[in-house]
Amino acid sequence: MPTFKARLIDITTGEKTVILHEDDAKDMVVRVNERVKLKKEINKIVALIDISNTVVCKGEVGIYEDLLSEFPVKDGDLVEIQPASTPTSVEYIRKKMAGAPLVKGEIYSIVKDTISHSLSQLEIAAFLMAQHYVGMNMDETEQLTRAIVETGRTIDFGETVVDKHSIGGVPGNKVTLIIVPIVAQAGLKIPKTSSRAITSPSGTADTMEVLAPVNFTVDELKKMVVDVGGYIAWGGSLNLAPADDLFIKVEHPLSIDPKSQMMASIMAKKMAVGTSAMVLDIPTGKGAKVEDFESARRLGNDFIELGNRLGIKVRCGITYGNQPVGHTVGPALEAKEALETLLGKGPNSLIEKSTSLAGMLLEMNGIAGKNNGQALAKDILRSGKAYRKMQEIIEHQGGNPDIKPDEIPLGEKRFIIPAPADGYVSSISNSAINAIARAAGAPTNKGAGVKLYAKMGYAVKKDDPVLEIYAENEQKLKCAQIIASRKQPFLIEGMLLEELPGF
């Protein structure tokens, strides 16, 4: 077996990868993205190959940071290397690409090899593209969900827990910050493990982090469930579904979200925390992930069937998704609006959506009678009990329970876009609002985002403020202004859209 001198490379790639010199690769008859087995004393590992004639010298092997936890070596150590075979799971990926269904063992093999970094990102991308274009039946989706759970960590809270989830796609969806305290105040246990933003201006964890820390250990989360009935935390450090995190990492640059993968992703994370009942929010409308009611109904019924197979009661709410939820988009702006709503001052659309979804959970779990859930949720909200429960949650998560909405710091660099004409707001572009808020710095800059003064159906006069951009620095504000001028975030009935000069 050929021996090489290790050269450590202080770069993390997200894959188990080594670099060989071009001449050494030719001698071993291996190519880029093929595999080699590395051996040093009792330690062995299989890695993918990069090839260079400048990064390493002939007789050296470049070893990225990713390998060191499993294959500890130092600069100059001698490492034995030989070609390695391709994992069997690659054959199963090809099978799926050809349109054939996969069985339990084949799906488990793909998931296991994904979390062990035995598959390259190209191979994972092929699996996701096969799901996107070929699809998976319900049996496959169930096995994919179970494989993601079985290869990750689970949490046993020791009692019945419930959850609410949204498939996303609509900016400003801060309803979780209202639903969790309502449901917890009603006596249910709702450990809400949320994500950070991937392509949106703010994930639920980003918004909650404005009010309190969101990164906790499992033991800390268990204590919060006992003490206050729920929490709103970030799930990224819990290792609940590591395969899903790796799939999402590849999905993002491809701009795809295969239905089977989305369903498995959501349900695996619910299974991992022992959820017994879940309400699923399916925003529907132009610019949302699901654009028509019939598709939303089909998706909802599929989730209900998958939930039945997995032992989770699922109820779906098809909600209005033609424009942002509430009037704000961006972490601090959304946290401010959520607190205002808990204090009884929020927009009616946000109150209606939050209480309708919370009410569904109350009905499913016998806290409210049929068709009385929303009324009870509204009572809890209007009485101030939900706000006081949110104060408890914030305090237990290490935040200031007495913070007032006006005390939340917002971006100081601001720009107002006025109505160009009298009329009614006829449409709001979700994608444009997302792009503007992200250009302004959200979610990285917590104070960045967009405030909508007028939404669809609102009457406006020429020069009335319609939209305000918030940023934390002047350059980001200018970038957001440029995006706003290009993407037409709103339309007003009767406004001139563009003038084409004649000759």
**Do you find a cis peptide bond into 443, omega within 30 degrees of 0?**
yes
- Quote the distance between the C-alpha of residue 203 and its chain's center: 7
Nearest in space to 164 (alpha carbons), one of 414, 446, 364: 364
For the chain, what percentages of helix, strand and coil (3-state, to nearest 5) are there?
40, 20, 40
CB 284 within 8 A of CB 321: yes
Q: SS3 letters for 409-457?
A: CCCCEEEEEECCCCEEEEEECHHHHHHHHHHCCCCCCCCCEEEECCCCC
DSSP per position, 198-228:
SSSS--HHHHHTTTS-----HHHHHHHHHHH
How many beta carbons lie within 10 A of that of residue 276, not counting itself?
16
Q: What is the DSSP letter of 290?
A: B
257, 281, 402, 464: which is the annotated catalytic residue?
257
Question: How many CA atoms are closer than 13 Å to the CA of 499, on its beta-carbon side?
Answer: 5
Whether 257 is catalytic is yes
d(CA 496, CA 455): 19
Q: List, by residue number, the catalytic residues.
A: 257
